[in-house]
Amino acid sequence: MNIQLIDTHCHLYGQEFAQDIRAVIERAENEGVRQFYLPAVDSEAHDAMLQLELDFPGKCFAMMGLHPCSVKEDYKEELALVGEWLGKRPFKAVGEIGLDYYWDKTFVAAQQEAFHQQIEWALQYQLPIVIHSRESMADSIRIVQEHQKGSLRGIFHCFTGTLEEAQQIIELGFYLGIGGVVTYKNTHLREVLKVVSMDQIVLETDAPYLTPVPFRGKRNESSYLKYIVEKIAEVKEISVEEAATITTANAKKIFGS
């Protein structure tokens, strides 16, 4: 099967891949994955992320942003670094940014401030945003609504929300990033996807996290994107080739490559 896939969200620069990254990329390419988009987390990971982009030119593409779980006491310094990087060289997106109320609510106000600031930078540089919205969907949607004047675009990464939330996101002109969760037994996501248009869906692994069935519990990698596109095709009752073609075209619309 000659399909082309794009992994719109993978942390392949992580320590989990330090020993075998070339084999990981090669396995993914053998499964049709042509591009890998690398979300930033914080300054500790920038060097590894940018090096991976250099090592695989035209395949790996870096984003720049401050992950909400990295918004701590020093978040103003971290944000300043993001601003510096965005002014220094081109990036494919501002990400991964947003809100995470799952682990710790100590820095909710700071997370929201960082989210607003990074959306402003995305608008300034005309870049898409990649949003992390764990246990924070209502606030995440509200903040995007506040900034959406017609030109803001991007992905709600790792979407696992309700149909109503999916429809709100789509009305904002944003895409749903669908990953390994769609393969899990106890998920309502498949019911949501039955209703949502394929034109609003992109594929992601979030590797090394959220590994799809049949490898759940093991390290995730981009070659497993095939299990995600196969499940989406099954849910939508279309061919894998069609699901691949549409989601790849959607990713190219967002990232412009």
Q: Is 47 annotated as a binding residue?
A: no
**Any binding-site annotation on 206?**
yes
d(CA 150, CA 176): 18
The CATH number assigned to the domain holding 114 equals 3.20.20.140
Partners of 36 in the beta sheet? 7, 60
Residue 116 annotated as lining a ligand binding site: no
| One-letter amino acid for residue 10 of the chain | C
pLDDT 10s per residue in the chain (257 long)?
689 999 999 999 999 999 999 999 999 999 999 999 999 999 999 999 999 999 999 999 999 999 999 999 999 999 999 999 999 999 999 999 999 999 888 999 999 999 999 999 999 999 999 999 999 999 999 999 999 999 999 999 999 999 999 999 999 999 999 999 999 999 999 999 999 999 999 999 999 999 999 999 999 999 999 999 999 999 999 999 999 999 999 999 999 97
Please check if 46 is assigned to a binding site: no
Distance in angstroms (rounded) separating the CA atoms of residues 4 and 72: 39
Binding site annotation covers 132? yes
Count of domains forming the chain: 1
Distance CA 179, CA 248 (A): 14
188 is in an annotated binding site: no
* Three-class SS state of 52: helix
Domain carrying residue 197: 5-255
pTM: 0.97
Q: Helix, strand or coil for residue 143?
A: helix
* Phi, then psi, of 141 in degrees rounded to 5: -65, -45
